Each structure stands twice: as structure tokens, then as C-alpha cells.
Amino acid sequence: MGNKFICMTKKDTKNGGIGSRSKRGGSMSRRRTSLEEELLHKQALAMAIQQHQLSQRFDNGSMSRRIGSTSSRRRNTGLLDPLHSTGDNTKQLPEFLESIKTKKFVLVHGEGFGAWCWYKSIALLEESGLHPVALDLAGSGIDLTDTKNITTLAEYSKPLIDYLQKLPEDDKVILVGHSSGGACISYALEQLPQKISKAVYLCATMITDGQKPFDVFDQELGSAELFSSDSKFLVYGNGKDNPPTGFMFEKQHLHGLYFNQSPTKDVALAAVSMRPFPLAPMMEKLSLSEEKHGSGRRFYIQTLDDHALSPDVQEKLVRENPPEGVFKIKGSDHCPFFSKPQSLHKILLEIAQIP
């Protein structure tokens, strides 16, 4: 029949003709889709386990150092242009390292994620001769802390603060915080500013003194419906008679909010790896001083196809709390480490090179 369209009537269906065959075909298609999805989830689970193991290895400081391919294209300018990506197969030249003083990156995930979500960025940074470390915040990734026991931002950020405190005296890092992880790097700037060379907010909650991390998302999502007593997104770790302790979007909502531009396999990885995140730290007002947090070097990366934290809200954050520099990634959803890893990588390299 070639490419001709078939006009099917109720009579066709009733008599078991084309319509009946179409139903059988549709059923087979659904079964095939279900099997493919199951296979994807199994592959993603294996990938998640592997990335958890890798993140532990990185955290223990035993990572290997690989230098980018010598066949990489040379630049003519002093800094990379993050808005003009040449594709995700472009690698950076090792001579770029000469202008990068701080080579250690600490990658801090956002709500529900874990160290596993940075696997593409880890590989790209390593291949550029840099030293990435991805951490699981409390109750995230493979950290076994029960979210109902995480009641403050200090408790939630403890793995990050512990890591920074254990650094050698003269060591500094570039902190990268995604989404609500921005609150954690703001907290770290207030606690240990001497350990942080630069703080990079990746479509993140870059808030001012006295604000709550959730205030940012409250503007975007509208908390009334999400936090009603019968909301299916809330987790009641201490029973329904007590306040909710955690929050987690369902799979179908996650795809539209977080992964509208991300590859299917990364979405599957997230589906089997994401965990409910603690609510209390997101509702805590941050106390940020001008002498500590205010003296830090902050940079913001905006994602321009973001459904979880819209470009308008991100622009408002930048206006209200101006950072040293602002970068933009076109065509990126709320998870550029999945949807635009090379563009994100180029921006991180450029920020690292800023004197």
C-alpha cells in the first residue's frame, strides 16, 4: 500500500477487518515499547551502580588523570565561547591548563539527584586534565541517611563541608552547584570561603541573605497545589499526622519539568536513581554575610529551555544578586549535564580560566 493513508470506519472495526488488525498491532507495539523500556531501565540501573562506584573512587582521590586528544581543534581566542558549540565530540587541548590555576572541581547535585548525574561532566573534565570530584549530599545518591532525619541545611550539606574541611591548607576548589545545590554552595561560601576559588550556580538557587532555597521554586511551581495535604509528591517519614519530611515528583512529571531535552537513556538512569529529597533544608532561611559569602566569586549559568526553573526566574535571580559573570546554554533543559554536556563543559573551562 506504500505510503497511502487508510481511512478506517466503525464498520471495519466491528467486522474484524483493518481496525481489528490495527488493535492487535497496537497491542504488540505497546508490549514492544514496554519491553524496550524495561531493557532501558535495566541498562540505566547498571549504569547508575557503575557511576556510584566511580563517584566513590573520585571522592577518595584515587582518580586517574587523562589528557585530551592531540587531534583536538585549536582555538584562536584566549577564552572559549560557550554559545558557539562545535558538537559534543570536541576536546580541549592540554595547553589550556596553563591558564587554569584551580584545577579541582567539586560538583554538587540538586534535589533528588546524586553524584551519579555528573558522569558526563566528570569524563569531560578528566579528559581536559582537570580533577573532578562528585559528592552525594546527605540522603542522596548512595548516602544512606534517612531524609526524615535531615532537618537543616547544615545536615544536608555535611558531606560537602566535611570534604572542604579535609582539603590541604592551601588547596582551593571551584564549586559547581546544580538547582537546589546552589543553596549548599552558598552555605559553603559562608562557612569556608577560604577554600572556594569560584562558585558556579548551574540553573541554581542563588539566593540572598534571609531567603529560603524553596522561595525560588515557589515562584515557578506554585506551592499551594504541590503542598496540599493530599499531594502525591509529599513524603511523610514521620507519619501523616506530622509535617511532610520529603518531596519527590513522579516519573511523568519529572520528564516534562527536568528532562525535556535530555537523551532517553539519561532519563531512564534518573528514573531508577533519583530519591526523595528532604524538605526542611529547602525551607530554612539562609544567613549570608557580606564579608564571607559576599566576598566570594560567583558565576551563573542559565539554561534557556528550562521548564523547572524558567529563564525569566533565572534572570530575576541574577538581577537581584548579581554575580561576577553570567553564561547561557541554548537548548538546554534543567539538566545540562545530560542535555548539553559539551556546552556546559566549555563554560566550566572558561570560568576556570578567568584570572
Region of 203 (left: φ > 0; alpha: ψ -120 to 50; beta: rest) is left
**Does residue 84 carry a catalytic annotation?**
no
Q: How far apart are CA 330 and CA 311, in angstroms?
A: 11
Of 40, 35, 30, nearest to 268 by C-alpha is: 40
Pick the catalytic residue: 306, 333, 343, 345? 306
Which of these is catalytic: 55, 121, 128, 179? Answer: 179
CA–CA separation, 200 and 288 (whole Å): 17
Please name the residue that has the C-alpha cell 588523570: 65
User: Which amino acid type is present at position 338?
Assistant: F
Which helix (H) or strand (E) segment holds residue 326: the answer is: strand 325-329
283 neighbors 214 (Cβ within 8 angstroms): yes
Does the annotation count 253 as an active-site position? Answer: no
Question: Which of 331, 349, 337, 316 is CA-nearest to residue 206?
Answer: 316
Q: Cα dihedral angle (239, 242, 246, 249), rounded to 10 degrees?
A: 80
φ, ψ of residue 209 to 5 degrees: the values are -55, 130
What is the distance, to the nearest Å, from the Cα of residue 343 to the centroid of all Cα atoms in its chain? Answer: 14
> What are the φ and ψ backbone dihedral angles of 146, each rounded to 5 degrees?
-75, 130
- Single out the catalytic residue among 334, 339, 343, 345: 334
Q: 12 catalytic, yes or no?
A: no
Tell me the CA distances in angstroms from 220 to 39, 105, 232, 307, 339, one per residue in order.
Answer: 34, 29, 19, 9, 21
Active-site positions read 179, 306, 334
